[in-house]
Each structure stands twice: as structure tokens, then as C-alpha cells.
Chain A
């Protein structure tokens, strides 16, 4: 106890030394607090967002794995791309059926399940699509992928029921929703019914909703009117749909990807119930015939649907459990489970993560520099107080007790500085973090903008649009064949977290105390080394 009292007395009696030590410790403490707060903010933001986030996931064919297997030399071959092998593997990869998707939806981790059916159709002379000047009107037969992007390659059926159904790309896309829950644009308020109402949720009637743009563009349509759609593979095969609602969507306003057909334009999407689309396809299949193309390849005239199934999970843990559960329910290894929500979420954290990493290095540098300064100061302090050490040990005070007193002095000053630093850090960490975060996000956006400019797409280009799954119907966004269609024309990485609400918490305070103790131990270790080496007789003799 007297050691602690002596330490306090020495701190108070050597004010200039204590203040110097305190200022240095305070600077270290504030810097450490900011660094720790930024790291904590990153963790908290991630945890809080994930806690309130429901995750959606899709199942897609594992193209990368397949391509990887192809690249391996087999049976003494030289490896590399083997066209025959590729075709054989593609042929062996069947798309998942709705029944299979529904089986995996039985997994305990799945909170909700919905799907969309998408078909490509043409209009007639009374019903024309919204086009841009660079788009060609009419069908582009036989060469288009049925939904580039997250959804991947079509997923339509050829007569073998396999992948690779290269059908005609129509002017319109009909999207059939299994439930209102699948209509995420309406749920997320990026689309709104402005006239009429949505179709009945599970109706088999040919009721549809069209976009306001499509209704007004050359067509002059209103709720209650009918439209005629044509099978792009068989011009005589027509169906009549009744318009029950007209919607307005933000997604179509910035569509500028003229490389796609007009059917890919969100304005040319027609929404129906999945049951009605299934009925439409069944009707088409019932009148289907087999035709040969110019290469002699046979295909059915029936309209080909793309199936997109989406699983909803209450949290990330459920999503992570789903893989094992789906495998147990029979999902093959050649399929992978992806969540675009999580990917987007991870992307949104990029500036915060970068900042957090930088803060980590900053913290490390501060701690090293701080420790070195404290050690040097402590060495000077001990040398200056050598005589005092000699007197204390000559009086019979054990060396370890003298060292303990010196450590207690450093500890008291450091801890006062740590608590002051934590207080200042608590006040300043949020604005500082947000300012740094805003800079970081701006830097990321600038980088993305430069990338767009480099690609000659100053109006926006969806770099992520081509990276999705390969399999039948696994769009990365429910109800959007072809993936993140609503993101097209936008920088896909713009929704960064640029603000944190709190950065300081008990964990940071405890970490700060840990840092204080660590610095005290490092500086104190030097004190112990010096004090243990000192011989009181020599010190006092020299003094004399």
C-alpha cells in the first residue's frame, strides 16, 4: 500500500515529468481510441445490419467448378479447353425443376420460398415494345441468351430437357410470380401500381400488369384492355392477356444496355402470376411442333420458360446452415448456393473495411511508437532518479518493490490519460469515422467512375451483371431474369455504408485499458531491468 502512496506522491511532486508523460500517453490514448473505434464501428455496423437483414439465396450450377475440372489434364491429355468435353459436361448438367427447388425449401433454415417463371414473347401489330433508337425491333432469332447476368443462361428447355435452349428472344418478357412476396420491386417500393391493381396472387387467369411506359408508348393501353402476345418460335400461336394493373417503376428509367434485346428492357416486362405463366407454357407445349434450324438442329416451338427460385432466410446463420441441409435433401455438389444480398452487403462494407484495416495498421504504428517513447522516457526517468533508487534500496526496500513503485507511477499516469483519451475519443470518434468513411466512399466511387469511363460507359455499366450463375433460373434478384436488372445503368457499388452511429463501446474501453496495461508493462519492464542492475553502494558512493 505504501508503494502506491509513494507513487502518487512522486507523481504529484514531479509535476512537469508527470505532465509530459501524461501528454504523450494522452496522444497515444486518443489515437488508439480512434483506431479502435473505427474498427469497432466496422464490426458493429456489420453485426447490426446483418441482425436486421433477411437473406435471400438462389441455387445455381457451379460453372467455375466445372470449368476447373475441364482444365485438368486427364488420361495423359495436355489439358486446356476441350470442346467435346465441355459439351459433354454441359449436356450432363440438367437444370433444377420446380419440384426439386420446393424439396430444398423444406429445409428447416428456410423462412420463405418463392419463384418466378419467365418467358420471352413477341407482340402483334397492336402491341409494340418500348425501344431505344439503337435497338432493333422484332425478334432476334436463335442467338440470344435468355437472361444474361445473375440468372445466367436461359434455362429454357430444349427437347432433351437439358441446358442450352437457345430460343428466339422476344420483344417482351413475361414474369410470373409465385406470390406477392416474390415481387420485391413492389415490396421495396421501387415499383408501384398507379392504375388498377395487381393480379390475383395465385390466379391461373391471363391477367397481367404492364409498365406505364409500355402502356403509353405507341400502345395507348389502359386497365381493362387486352393485349395479344405471340410465341416468338411460332408466329401463329397467340394468347390474349387482360391488363388489370399499370405500374410505374424506377428500374426502367435508366436502362441503356442496347446490346440486349428490347425484351430485356424493364419497361417491356409483363407481370403475371406464376400459375398463369405455367398455364401459358402448358398451352404452348400442347401445340408445340418440332422444327429444324439452318444447321439442321432440332428444337421445339413451345415457349421456353426460365425458372428462378429464391429462398429467404431469417438471418445469416440460417443461410449458412442451408447448404448442409439442402445437400442432405439431395442437392448435388455441382450446384452452389449464392446470396446476392450478402455479396451486396459485403460490397457496401468495402469503405468501412478498408478504413478498419487502415485503422488497424495505424493503431499498430501508434502502439509501437508510443511504447518506444514511453520506454525512452522511462529510461531517462530512471537515470534521473538513480540516486532515489539507491537511497530506497540502501534503506532496505527490495528492488522489486522499487520497480513496482515506478510501474505504479506509469500505470496511474497512463490510466488517467487512457480514460481522458477514451472520453475525447468517444466524443470525436463518430464524426472522425464518418468523415474518413465519406472520403473512403468517395474514393471508391471515383474509382468506379474511372472504370466506367475506361469502358466507355460514362452513363453506367453493370460490371457485376455478367458474373452470376449459369444454371436454369437462378437470377440473383428475384423476379429479374438476367440478374440485377434494376442496377443496370448504375454503379453497382454505390450503396456504401458512409455513416456510423456509434463507434465507442465497452469493448473499446476494455481494449483501451488493455493497451494502457500493455504500455505500462513494456515501459515497466525496462524499469525493472535497470533497477535490478543498480547497486545502492555504488550509487551512493558516486553521490558522496
Chain B
């Protein structure tokens, strides 16, 4: 059964249509790659999936329930983990504090949040010293790892990542993709947006968005 389902989604910026009648099902335990040319609506689709935007028409179902009927803050903070292209970390906080903050926002109860955050950061390849550094003091790859750890910190069912390997060297790309593969194997639904054919090859399924062509007026 699909954990996330797109049903006839249409979206436009003003009079410019970006997505038209898009339907697709995402299942848990699989890694998906949304591909397409620039302007095809990949990032827009990611915004719709993450609840940051609402479609003009059609439905997005999360476990069969219309996402628009779910509290969008709850959806974003608990059910879905988003890894933005530019990481979007709180720069004045340390890597550890960023991860703990996402747990606080998700309402994770009980103590041991710091220990769990540290464990997550270590799992994505950061040591204790790096975890206690402010994120601006970390490299792009390290920030990407922090963003992944943050997205995993509250245990969401779905992981969304926008160009997760865009700024990384080949070795680091491979390490990051390994992390995503592991998450998919653990039963999570991993949805990646990427230009890279190499990334698409490593995914279980590939969904290509086609840019809507403008009709010429006679």
C-alpha cells in the first residue's frame, strides 16, 4: 500500500502551469528518484510532498488521508523528514543543537535527546567534535549529513531529499547514497530529487517529470 499518493495533482505559479495531472504512488521500503529537466517542477513537487505548498487541484494522500486535512505543522515536524538542497540549518546552532531542535519541534518526549542526536550524527559520519561545532564551521558534505541526521531525528516514515548529492564529491556522494539505501532497507520511503543519472541508477524506481510546453498563440 502506498504511504504517499499523488492523485491528479495540478499546480501553477500564477498563470504558468508547472505540474499537470500528476499521479504517482510512493511505497515504504523503496528509494525513488524524481528526475526531469530544469523547470520540469521537481522542486515544486517536493514542496507539495513536504506540505510546504498545496496543489491547485488533486489530492496528496498520506496513508490514505488527505494531507490538506492534516495539521501541516504536525505533518512537517513528525511524518516527513525533508533534506533541503541548501540544507537550511540554523547557522548559529551547533550540529547537535540543530538535531535536538528538530526533536523538540516534533515533540519528542523524555530525556536522552542529546545522546540520540549524537548517535544519529555519528551514524551519518560526524564525530563528537564535529557535532559540537556550529554548522557554519562544517563543510558542505558535513552539513548535508547534519541535515540528514536532523531529518531522521524524530523517526519519520518518509524522507525527502532535494539534490542530496549536488555539492558533494564522488566519495561523499556514495556515502550519502549508502545512508539512503540503508534507510529504505529499514522500511522508510526515500524520495530523492536529482539531475544525476548516477543517483537515479541507485534508486529502486525513477519518476520522470516532463516540462509542460507553452502553446504558441497564432
Q: Determine the chain B residues whose CB is within 8 A of the CB of A396 once the complex forms.
A: 73-78, 105-106
B105 and A9 contacting across the interface, CB-CB below 8 Å: no
B47 and A537 contacting across the interface, CB-CB below 8 Å: yes
Pick from A9, A390, A394, A540: contact of B93, CB under 8 Å: A9
The answer to the question of B57 belonging to the interface, with a C-beta cut-off of 8 Å to chain A, is no
Q: CA–CA, A390 to B89, complex, Å?
A: 10
B73 and A397 contacting across the interface, CB-CB below 8 Å: yes
Q: CA–CA, A22 to B12, complex, Å?
A: 46
Within 8 A of A (CB), among B192-218: none
The smallest beta-carbon distance between A145 and chain B, in angstroms, is 85
Pick from A2, A6, A13, A394: contact of B52, CB under 8 Å: A394
Within 8 A of A (CB), among B168-195: none
Q: Determine the chain A residues whose CB is within 8 A of the CB of B157 once the complex forms.
A: none
The answer to the question of A543 belonging to the interface, with a C-beta cut-off of 8 Å to chain B, is yes
Q: Determine the chain A residues whose CB is within 8 A of the CB of B91 once the complex forms.
A: 388
The answer to the question of A14 belonging to the interface, with a C-beta cut-off of 8 Å to chain B, is yes
Q: CA–CA, A391 to B143, complex, Å?
A: 15
- A385 nearest CB neighbor, chain B only: B92
Within 8 A of B (CB), among A1-57: 2, 6, 9-10, 13-14
Knowing A537-B47, A537-B52, A544-B85, say if A395 contacts B105 (CB, 8 Å).
Answer: yes
Q: Determine the chain B residues whose CB is within 8 A of the CB of A390 once the complex forms.
A: 88
The smallest beta-carbon distance between B70 and chain A, in angstroms, is 12
The smallest beta-carbon distance between A1 and chain B, in angstroms, is 8
A397 and B89 contacting across the interface, CB-CB below 8 Å: no
Q: CA–CA, A537 to B104, complex, Å?
A: 21
Q: CA–CA, A390 to B76, complex, Å?
A: 13
Within 8 A of A (CB), among B73-120: 73-78, 82, 84-86, 88-93, 97, 101-102, 104-106
The answer to the question of A398 belonging to the interface, with a C-beta cut-off of 8 Å to chain B, is yes
The answer to the question of A536 belonging to the interface, with a C-beta cut-off of 8 Å to chain B, is yes
Q: Determine the chain A residues whose CB is within 8 A of the CB of B76 once the complex forms.
A: 394-396
Q: Determine the chain B residues whose CB is within 8 A of the CB of A9 once the complex forms.
A: 92-93, 97
Q: Count the B residues whose beta carbon is within 8 Å of the partner chain — how many? A: 28
A6 and B101 contacting across the interface, CB-CB below 8 Å: yes
Pick from B73, B85, B86, B89: contact of A398, CB under 8 Å: B73
The answer to the question of B22 belonging to the interface, with a C-beta cut-off of 8 Å to chain A, is no
Interface flags, B37-77, vs A, CB<8A=1, else 0: 00000010001001011000000000000000000011111
B104 and A2 contacting across the interface, CB-CB below 8 Å: yes
The smallest beta-carbon distance between A399 and chain B, in angstroms, is 8
B89 and A392 contacting across the interface, CB-CB below 8 Å: no
B101 and A394 contacting across the interface, CB-CB below 8 Å: no
The smallest beta-carbon distance between B85 and chain A, in angstroms, is 6
Q: CA–CA, A28 to B207, complex, Å?
A: 61
A397 and B85 contacting across the interface, CB-CB below 8 Å: no
Q: How many A-B residue pairs have CB under 8 A?
A: 59
- A540 nearest CB neighbor, chain B only: B88
Knowing A6-B101, A396-B75, A397-B73, say if A391 contacts B89 (CB, 8 Å).
Answer: yes
Q: Determine the chain B residues whose CB is within 8 A of the CB of A537 once the complex forms.
A: 47, 52-53
- A2 nearest CB neighbor, chain B only: B104
Q: Determine the chain B residues whose CB is within 8 A of the CB of A540 once the complex forms.
A: 52, 84, 86, 88
The smallest beta-carbon distance between B182 and chain A, in angstroms, is 23
Knowing A2-B101, A396-B73, A397-B73, say if A391 contacts B90 (CB, 8 Å).
Answer: yes
Q: CA–CA, A2 to B84, complex, Å?
A: 24
Q: Determine the chain B residues whose CB is within 8 A of the CB of A14 once the complex forms.
A: 92
The smallest beta-carbon distance between A405 and chain B, in angstroms, is 11
The smallest beta-carbon distance between A385 and chain B, in angstroms, is 9
Q: Determine the chain A residues whose CB is within 8 A of the CB of B75 once the complex forms.
A: 396
- A1 nearest CB neighbor, chain B only: B104
Knowing A397-B77, A398-B73, say if A391 contacts B105 (CB, 8 Å).
Answer: no
Interface flags, A357-397, vs B, CB<8A=1, else 0: 00000000000000000000000000000001011111111
- A544 nearest CB neighbor, chain B only: B86
Q: Determine the chain A residues whose CB is within 8 A of the CB of B43 once the complex forms.
A: 544
- B102 nearest CB neighbor, chain A only: A395
- A537 nearest CB neighbor, chain B only: B52
Q: CA–CA, A392 to B89, complex, Å?
A: 9
Q: CA–CA, A544 to B87, complex, Å?
A: 10
A536 and B52 contacting across the interface, CB-CB below 8 Å: yes
Within 8 A of B (CB), among A381-437: 388, 390-398
Q: CA–CA, A50 to B180, complex, Å?
A: 81
B92 and A394 contacting across the interface, CB-CB below 8 Å: no
B105 and A394 contacting across the interface, CB-CB below 8 Å: no
- B51 nearest CB neighbor, chain A only: A396
Q: CA–CA, A2 to B90, complex, Å?
A: 15
A13 and B92 contacting across the interface, CB-CB below 8 Å: yes
Q: Determine the chain B residues whose CB is within 8 A of the CB of A391 once the complex forms.
A: 88-90
The smallest beta-carbon distance between B32 and chain A, in angstroms, is 21
Q: CA–CA, A397 to B93, complex, Å?
A: 16
Q: CA–CA, A391 to B84, complex, Å?
A: 10
Interface flags, A127-170, vs B, CB<8A=1, else 0: 00000000000000000000000000000000000000000000
Interface residues of chain A, those whose CB is within 8 Å of chain B, are 2, 6, 9-10, 13-14, 388, 390-398, 536-537, 540, 543-544
Q: List 13 A-B pairs, Cβ < 8 Å.
A: A388-B92, A390-B88, A391-B88, A391-B89, A392-B105, A394-B52, A395-B76, A395-B77, A396-B76, A397-B73, A398-B73, A537-B52, A544-B43
Using A13-B93, A537-B47 as known contacts, list a sample of 19 further A-B pairs with CB atoms less than 8 Å apart, ordered by residue number in A: A2-B105, A9-B92, A14-B92, A388-B90, A391-B89, A392-B90, A394-B52, A394-B82, A394-B88, A395-B77, A395-B150, A396-B75, A396-B77, A396-B105, A396-B106, A398-B73, A540-B88, A544-B84, A544-B86
| 3 cross-chain pairs, A with B, having the tightest CB-CB distances, nearest first | A396-B77, A396-B76, A2-B104
